[in-house]
Amino acid sequence: MDDADFADWARDAWGSLVRSAVFLGCSLHEAEDVAQSTLERCYRNWPSVARADNRSAYVYRVLLNCLRDSRRRRWWGERPSEVVPERRDDTTPADEVLATVDAVHRAMADLARSQRDVVVLRYFAGLSEAETATALGVPPGTVKSRLSRALGKLAGDAHLLDLRPEAARERRTARRRSEVEDPADPADHPAEGARP
Amino acid sequence: MTDLENAWDDLPVSTAPIDAVLRAGRRDEPRRRPVPRPGLRTATAFGAVAAAFVAGVVVADPGGSGGDVPSAASGPASGAGAGGQAGAGPIDAESLAITPAAFHGELQAPTSCGALLEHYQDRAEDLRIGPVGLRDRSDLPRPLPALSAPALDSAELVGTTGSYASDTGTTVQEAGVDEPDAVKTDGDLLVRIRGSELTTYDVGGPEVEELASLDLDDLHDGELLLAGDTVVVIGNDGSPPRYDAAGLPLGSFPRTTTPAVPEQTRVVTVDVTDPAAPREVRTVDYDAGLITARQHGEAIRLVLRKGVPDLGLGRRARRVAEQRIAATTLDDWLPRVSVDGGEDRRLLECDRVAVPRADTGLVTMAVVGFDAGTADGGAGADPTAGLDTLGLAGEASMAYESTDHLYLAANDADYSAGTTHVYDFALDGRGASYVGAGEAEGTLRDRWSMDETDGVLRLALGASSETGNWNSIVTMRARGDELVELGRLERLGVGEDITAVRWFDGLALLVTFRQIDPLYAVDLTDARTPRLIGELKIPGFSSYLHPLGTQRLVGVGEGPQPSGGWGAQLGLFDVTDLTSPDRLDVVSYGPRSRALAGRDPRQLTWLPQQRVVLSVITRGRAVYVSRLQLGAGRMRNEMTRVEWGSDADVVRLVPVVGDDSAGGAIGGQVPRAVLVTGEDVRFFDVD
């Protein structure tokens, strides 16, 4: 077992795994737990994971299983996983993270679970159609049809207005500017110019 | 959409906890190979599980190896207790991380009885406590239209069925799988139940002769199965169904429009070795509602459903409610069984209850198999002796049995009801074992929408939030522990509802309805690519299709009447060339008439030798038998009034062939039909 290989791969995969779990309905903390269990399972089977042609399909399949298991975990009284130390950089205030996660959940809530799975794996995590199909255990045609319906639904979603990422970014930039006195390029934030 | 993409990028993600992952991986490694003698590994693991269960149920022997418990007393198991769990104290979830072979994949076995109870309690607490007790979360309580036609055999809104009567004279869905009915016959003996009264008749002579009757006391809604000299009566003790404040059946979660059925099932075994003196042998009571009963030869299988227990939460404060939920025991959640009014026992052991990964509700399904013949008094007082049981902690109240598979299905309760979950069980005599699970987009109307041939499950699915506004045919096959979708044919009857389906080896016939009645023929010879091969559009619709052979099919339904108005009609179709099915003839029964076989296929009988179709028709309060003589592509109708009023539903026409079924008239045995009405049982003149 080559730990260094695994570590390199895991560092790359981490962000997408956590984000996928959030998009699939977890809080940020739960998402990190789920992503960690996913990595643990992958580590145990690393020789076969490393060899697999469709590694992403395998890994995301594990993620989906961990996610379902985690919803049952407290019901089953499993050991809680080791406490994850806080390593988050503190540039984003907690309430803003909460607001973002919440808005994502509201937007995704209009999708059925199977649509949500497809849209997260194929669209956000960037798996190929074939990998998504393998991860979900459905034919590629189904991936295609679920994805188009899901995207159609998301396109007309009113909850997304709540996200206003520009506004959030703007607030963050303004705060940083006042602290560090490092004015950002106003061209990045056209909305700011519109303000009186 | 771009907003979501930004959110994806904006989510502040910590750095990967690589060290923790590596530590966890290394720590687990030695534990995963704790067994000193590899040859005993399997036995050890099972022994350990058995010990854990026993400890969970019975006791209080935390440090013990379980060696003094009978089921753990075998050598290897004790060895494991010492080797694998030395000093581990009470049950260590990690060392028990294997599941009994029965469940895997989508269905998981609980690690212990305590864990199973915790599952029920936590699921209950997830629900909002409302004015009527346990309620689902606010976004869930909409009725699920797909479940509107429940698995109750007598309340089908839509149905298709097999083409020939079963050995006991009942028109059934699947050849070789018998279904209960109010009347059963073996050719000489006919048994019927009406209310709590079981009556035997001799139908071997020139006239029907009543032999004896037996009062079964508190038996309600009874139907019969006949296996040799044993009659199995399946009903309930008359307990009223539970309703909540909104007038909906209580105990269903999530809310479905399932009609309320008593949450009690009573099975009475009657010995008819001497038909003139039927003898009550045994009464078995279950505190769960009946979904279906099926019979394969001697083996009888019940599918039961126990709803959310009534915890008397009412308008209690959340805190009180939570305390009450926490005070529940497994006996509140799992069904119980008793024999002849004796002490009741838990029907399912914890390790026989699987928990689906999917969130499918807070009820418990139980599959109970037993042999009709062995259910005699000799089995003693243990109610679970001779029962083969399996449980599922979730809703799956559509049941379909083929000759060697049982499929339980439910719609997704977790989100919008767009996905159908299917659990596949292989049957062996009275036993059932879990094969796998799968899901398909679309809604399943009822058991008639499922069929299995050569290991391929075929589903006729209606529109759902997951599909376009059309119906689909989906084929699935077990691969490992998963049912995977093989093929799918979409866009059948856009904007229309399925009213009837008929399955054949390589073919499905499907009827949908809005204003006209398209009959679709779908080629299933290649399960991966279902293909639409023919289509026929005619006025009205069929709710039940009965194939007469390779060339003819009868459709029972309704449509516009020649005299004006809307009423029952029965159509004769030529299906010789499926690319262009054709309607040869139609019989209209007049405005406001109803053809009851459209709802309950047991009210239609096909007598192939005479080429006669008998079916029950009502006009107003008058109940008729319509006798249709087929010939030269036409149907000649003759109506006989047989009954009045609400007894219409009990009217049956049971074919009685006698001993020599192959010989027909030549052997001196003319196939006949016994007409069963509310008060009477007599031969019906077929010729």
Distance CA B555, CA B316 (A): 53
Would you put residue A43 in left (φ > 0), alpha (ψ -120 to 50) or beta?
A: alpha
Query: By percentage, how much of chain B surpasses pLDDT 70?
Result: 72
* Residues forming beta bridges with residue B492, ordered by sequence position: B471
| Other residues' Cβ atoms within 10 Å of the Cβ of residue B304 | 26
Interface test with B, best of A2, A45, A76 (most B CBs within 10 A): A76
Say which of B6, B119, B466 has its CB closest to residue A165: B6
Rounded Cα distance, A137 and A64, in Å:
11
Q: What is the ipTM of this complex?
A: 0.72
Angular region, A4: left φ>0, alpha ψ -120 to 50, beta rest: alpha
Strands (E), B447-506: 450-453, 456-462, 471-479, 482-492, 497-504
Alpha helices in B314-462 (DSSP H): 318-326, 330-333
The single residue listed with the structure tokens 């404060």 is B317
Q: What is the pLDDT of residue A146?
A: 85
Q: Do A112 and B359 touch (CB under 8 A)?
A: no
3-state secondary structure of B479: strand
Q: With bands split at pLDDT 50, 70 and 90, how would you rate the model's confidence at B524?
A: confident
Q: What is the average pLDDT across B639-650?
A: 89
Question: How far is C-alpha B521 from the chain's CA centre?
Answer: 26
**Spatial CA neighbour of B267 closest among B229, B231, B293, B232:** B232
Inter-chain residue contact A40 with B94, CB threshold 8 Å: no
Of B234-243, B430-439, B560-569, B642-651, which gets the smallest average pLDDT?
Answer: B234-243
A74-103 residues touching B, CB cutoff 8 A: 74-79, 81-82, 84-89, 91-92, 97, 100-101, 103
Cβ atoms within 10 Å, residue B679: 9
A49 contact B CB<8A? no
pLDDT, tens only, B442-473 = 888 778 889 998 889 999 988 877 777 888 99
Q: How far apart are CA B546 and CA B572, in angstroms?
A: 10
Q: Which of B466, B486, B491 to mutate: most A Cβ within 10 Å?
A: B466
CA–CA dist B497, B260 (Å, integer) = 24
B454 CB contacts (<8 Å, ≥6 apart)?
none
Query: What residues contact B198, with CB distance under 8 A and at least 6 apart?
Result: B191, B192, B213, B214, B215, B216, B222, B224, B231, B233, B270, B278
B1 and A3 within 8 Å at the Cβ level: the answer is: no
Contact flag B7-A100 (C-beta cutoff 8 Å): yes
**B16/A10 CB distance under 8 A:** yes
Residues with Cβ within 8 Å of residue B237, at least 6 apart in sequence: B218, B219, B220, B262, B264, B266, B285
Separation CA B493–CA B508 (nearest Å): 14
Over chain B, what is the mean pLDDT?
Answer: 75
Q: Is A50 on the interface with B (CB under 8 A)?
A: no
Closest to A124 (Cβ–Cβ): which among B8, B15, B21? Answer: B8
B93: DSSP letter? G
Contact map slice: A 111-170 vs B, CB within 8 A: 111-115, 124, 137-139, 141-142, 146, 149, 151, 154-155, 160-161, 163-165, 168-169
Q: Which long-range contacts (CB under 8 A, 24 or more apart) does B184-188 make?
A: B184/B224, B184/B225, B184/B226, B184/B231, B185/B226, B185/B654, B185/B656, B185/B674, B186/B226, B187/B656, B187/B657, B187/B658, B187/B659, B188/B658, B188/B659
CB contact under 8 A, A112 and B418: yes
Contact B436, B428 (CB under 8 A): no
pLDDT digits (tens, 9 = 90+) for A117-172: 888 998 888 888 888 888 887 888 888 888 888 888 877 665 554 444 444 455 45
Burial grade of B396 (CB within 10 A; 0-12, 13-18, 19 or more): buried
The answer to which of A27-41, B53-67, B159-173, B634-648 has the lowest mean pLDDT is B53-67
Residue B215 CB coordination number (10 Å)? 10
pLDDT tens sequence across B75-129: 333 333 333 333 333 333 332 322 333 455 667 777 788 888 888 887 777 654 4
DSSP state of B68: T
Q: Do A40 and B21 touch (CB under 8 A)?
A: yes
CA distance B419 to chain A (A): 8
